[in-house]
Amino acid sequence: MTRQEFISKVSALVEQEVDEETRLAAILTWDSMCAISFIVMADKDLGVSVSPPSLLQCTTVADLANLVKDRLV
Amino acid sequence: MRVSGARIRAVSAAVPSHRRGHDHWPDGAKVAKFIGIKERRVAPPDVLPSDMCYEAALPLLERYPRDSIDCLINITQAPDYTVPATSCILHERLGLSKGCAAFDVTQGCSAYTYGIWIASCILAAGGAKRVLLLVGDVNSIPEEDIQPSDKATEPLFGDAGSATILDADPDAHPMHYVNGTDGSGWDFLVVPGSGRRQFGATTKLAMKGVEVFEFTMREVPPVAQRALAEAGWRVEDCDAIVAHQANGVILDSIRRKIGATEEQFVRGIEYFGNTGGPSIALAIVSEKVEPGKWLLVGFGVGMSWSALAFDAEGVVIYPLVQMP
């Protein structure tokens, strides 16, 4: 998965256009459902297990990308 | 762990008649789609797990004489009283004999497989000849008590009771168990005011949903696979896989991770929600699961798990009891 494809996946999850600079706190739809959907996506599409503590530390979309950076091309 | 000498004879389940969807939430349709639950059966305030288990047990007692039952096990997180054991109250209501042992166990989402494990160990050891296992829970929130802060939990839960007859039988197929606990997650799901530690605190469930989900993804699929290995089966050998009906996302993820097909993987959550302890029994009954090679996987609050692989040859599934 490319970094751009990843951003598109996250945009679909939160149902709005985001970029790497977008702050999670600014995404009104970012809630526990999105967090779980993100964990599922990382596991299913990228084979990465994302831990809740590491997810909680994320403040931007770029931080989310960093959780799975080894699987992005 | 292999237990030989016990067999499940019959499974029954009962649900309240009242249905609750998600219309009371502003984004109810989105929530319903995400969790894979269209509606739940919700018990009125005066109906407890023991009432639903009682209703589930009655049809079984028409076939299995009351005086043949020498052990009653009741598992719930919502007993009639903490003193006395609800099993004693049910013993009287069901008209069981004085020669029948009766005790309660506290366990949540892994209750059904835990109950079968306890019962089968008692039966295989010669401690009883016939066990009536009752597993029931009420996890729904009364309509008038629902608050915006309940959004993470309220849409998930429904109510149900179940009853299962197990017999000692030296010719029964062996039962293969994998049980376990990770107590470090005890506060992932907790009702603070449910006991004496925080007496007077809220009696609503507090859930760390993301942690629960991550725990389930990490721990449960390997447990299911270990139970299959104990039985010497591959996943494709299973006729039915019935996991705790937690929510649609978790069920889909477990199915994907263990490589089961949609046909094998029983999904009874859409119209009943997560009923906690009895959810596996309810899914077996509501989806009319055929006897065969079954893999049952209980997991959840505790955090706790118990998986069971066995040939359910001859198990009789009773029709779902719809309470008035």
3-state secondary structure string across chain B: CEECCEEEEEEEEEECCCEECCCCCCCHHHHHHHHCCCCEECCCCCCCHHHHHHHHHHHHHHHCCHHHCCEEEEECCCCCCCCCCHHHHHHHHHCCCCCCEEEEECCCCCHHHHHHHHHHHHHHCCCCCEEEEEEEECCCCCHHHCCHHHCCCHHHECCEEEEEEEEECCCCCCEEEEEEECHHHCCCEECHHHCCCCCCCCCCCEECHHHHHHHHHHHHHHHHHHHHHHHCCCHHHCCEEEECCCCHHHHHHHHHHHCCCCCCECCCCCCCCECCCCHHHHHHHHCCCCCCEEEEEEEECCCEEEEEEEECCCCEECCCEECC
B207 and chain A: CB distance < 8 Å anywhere?
A: no
**Of A33-37, A63-67, B1-5, the least confident:** A33-37
pLDDT digit of tens for each residue in chain B (324 aa)?
999 999 999 999 999 999 999 999 988 898 899 899 999 999 999 999 999 999 999 999 999 999 999 999 999 999 999 999 999 999 999 999 999 999 999 999 999 999 999 999 999 999 999 999 999 999 999 988 999 888 888 999 999 999 999 999 999 999 999 999 999 999 999 999 998 999 999 999 999 988 998 899 999 999 999 999 999 999 999 999 999 999 999 999 999 999 999 999 999 999 999 999 999 999 999 999 999 999 999 999 999 999 999 999 999 999 999 998
Mean pLDDT of A25-38: 87
pLDDT over threshold 90, residue A28: no
Residues 218-257 of B with CB under 8 A from A: 218, 249, 253, 256
Residues of A in contact with B22 (CB under 8 A): none
Chain A interface test: which of B22, B208, B214, B215 (most A C-beta within 10 Å) = B214
pLDDT the model gives residue A72: 87
Q: What is the pTM of this model?
A: 0.93
CB pairs under 8 A between A and B: 32
Chain B interface test: which of A29, A30, A31, A33 (most B C-beta within 10 Å) = A33
Q: Quick check: helix, strand or coil at residue A64?
A: helix
